[in-house]
């Protein structure tokens, strides 16, 4: 199985996570994909393949050298964003992309004006959807790349390496992926997360954020007698929003700002 075929096969699994769930993983359908991956890793010859009750997967590609080497790991997440559908994804390959706008479906255009980074991939093969769903490359592309790399190293024993650990986790998109990841069990000297980015990029720091649910309670009074009594919760919400410095919002900042 080549890399593209493997990735497109993964996109057939709906693994959307949910911010409204208190279970782990947040959606049971992530477990379906996890079970598939566990079986695939076993079939591809990896060792110590394990899936826990929460859907976290750990596996090892055994080293093929007698030298003492550090253990490195590669990690990717199985879930896709709750912000758009991950069901019935219709992935297709555009060969030798011409650098122009892409009609995903009638009336749905991926334009180079809106996504200028498309121009950098002129002449390459790219994978798209029909525009009604996510593609799921975040982060099934990462999983496919890791599995494919392990298969390559398995088949090319002339490339000497120590033990390599593989880890796949649920619920990254809702900020919960690392909460139940067993670092001690993973047992690496260091590890890399394979996620979205340009070829050749290596990020050694990560974006951080926090979320809060704010409940604003107004006072409801008949509008004929509301003066001096009614408190409009929507107006309070607007006032609260306006207290946040505009220059410090995500759309206005980058780097260490």
Residues with a known catalytic role:
79, 172
Which of 195, 194, 176, 187 is CA-nearest to residue 58?
187
- DSSP single-letter state for residue 237: H
Which of 41, 42, 48, 37 is CA-nearest to residue 77?
37
Tokens of 118: 């498309």
> Half-sphere exposure of 66 toward its Cβ, with a 13 Å CA cutoff?
0
Tokens of 239: 């006032």
C-alpha 176, offset from chain centre: 12
Cα–Cα distances (Å) from 39 to 4, 14, 185, 237, 239, in that order, read 19, 18, 20, 49, 53
232 exposure class (CB count in 10 Å sphere: 0-12, 13-18, 19+): middle
Rounded to 10 deg, the angle between the 137-155 and 3-11 helix axes is 140
Say if residue 168 is preceded by a cis peptide, omega within 30 of 0. Answer: no
C-alpha 82, offset from chain centre: 11
Phi, psi (deg, nearest 5) at residue 247 = -75, -5
> Half-sphere exposure of 231 toward its Cβ, with a 13 Å CA cutoff?
8
């Amino acid at each position: 199985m080549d890399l593209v075929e493997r990735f497109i096969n993964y996109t057939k699994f709906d693994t959307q996570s949910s911010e409204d769930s208190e279970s782990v993983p947040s959606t049971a359908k992530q477990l379906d994909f996890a079970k598939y991956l566990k079986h695939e890793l076993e079939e591809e010859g990896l060792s110590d393949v394990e899936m826990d009750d929460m859907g976290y997967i750990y596996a090892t590609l055994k080293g093929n050298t007698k030298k003492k080497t550090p253990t490195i790991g590669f990690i990717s997440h199985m879930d896709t964003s709750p912000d758009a559908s991950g069901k019935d994804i219709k992935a297709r390959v555009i060969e030798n992309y011409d650098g122009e706008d892409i009609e995903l479906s009638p009336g749905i255009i991926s334009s180079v004006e809106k996504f200028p980074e498309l121009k950098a991939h002129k002449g390459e093969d790219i994978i798209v959807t029909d525009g009604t769903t996510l593609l799921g490359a975040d982060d099934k592309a990462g999983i496919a790349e890791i599995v494919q790399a392990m298969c390559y190293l398995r088949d090319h024993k002339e490339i000497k390496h120590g033990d390599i650990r593989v880890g796949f986790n649920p619920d990254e998109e809702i900020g919960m992926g690392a909460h139940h990841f067993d670092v001690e069990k993973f047992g690496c000297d260091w590890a890399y997360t394979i996620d979205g980015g340009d070829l050749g990029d290596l990020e050694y720091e990560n974006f951080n954020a926090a979320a809060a649910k704010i409940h604003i309670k107004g006072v409801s009074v008949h509008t004929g007698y509301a003066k001096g009594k009614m408190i409009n919760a929507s107006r309070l919400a607007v006032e609260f929003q306006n207290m946040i410095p505009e220059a410090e919002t995500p759309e206005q900042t980058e780097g260490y700002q």
